[in-house]
Amino acid sequence: MTIQKGDTLPAATLVKVTEGGPEQVATTDYFKGRRVAVFSVPGAFTPTCSARHLPSFIEKRDELKAKGIEEIAATAVNDAFVMGAWAKQAGADGITMLADGNGEFVSALGLTMDGSKFGMGTRGQRFSMVVNDGVVEQLNVEAPGEYNVSSAEHMLGQL
């Protein structure tokens, strides 16, 4: 079953990219007591993800924070080292990278996709959401191959 607006996020473990190395975080702890903008990409370093999706949140970071977003997090079914390299290459200061290497988080959300025809296996769909104290306040899931409603610009219009 796919997560819906108003639902509490399911328990899962993500790996946060930090200066000191990968750090496991439980979603129940990470999202507790704050308002977080989360966006999911099918893969770090993939074309739309690198050229448009991550840059939209980098460019709109301050505007999102001015609207009450306390943290902005990117997630993908990639390992923490890939996510860290992607953040560094993109200059994604102020964006928290949360690796979902085994796809546990997107599976629990019901937001997986089959990227097998591209040699990518099971990945997360492209989406964004606002999570307020562990509850989904906004959810924007893209149609396959699209990039519109999961952008930072779209999210700003919802806040």
- Is the pLDDT at 113 greater than 80? The verdict is no
Name which of 41-50, 65-74, 126-135 the model is least confident about. 41-50
Give the mean pLDDT of the chain. 91
> Do residues 106 and 40 make contact, with C-beta atoms less than 8 angstroms apart?
yes
Return the percentage of the chain with pLDDT > 90, whole number: 72
Burial of 82 (0-12, 13-18, 19+ CB in 10 A): middle
Q: What is the pLDDT of residue 141?
A: 95
- Is the pLDDT at 138 greater than 90? The verdict is yes
Region 134-147 average pLDDT:
92
> Do residues 56 and 152 make contact, with C-beta atoms less than 8 angstroms apart?
yes
For the record, the structure tokens of 11 come out as: 């328990």
The pLDDT confidence band at residue 69, using thresholds 50, 70 and 90, is: very high
Active-site residue set: 49
Q: What is the pLDDT of residues 23-58, one digit of tens each?
A: 999 999 999 999 999 999 988 887 666 667 788 999
Q: Which CATH number fits domain 13-144: 3.40.50.11540, 2.60.40.10, 3.40.50.10190, 3.40.30.10?
A: 3.40.30.10
- Is the pLDDT at 137 greater than 80? The verdict is yes
Give the residue with greater pLDDT, 49 vs 80. 80
- Give the pairing type, strands 95-99 and 71-76: parallel
For the record, the structure tokens of 5 come out as: 């607006």
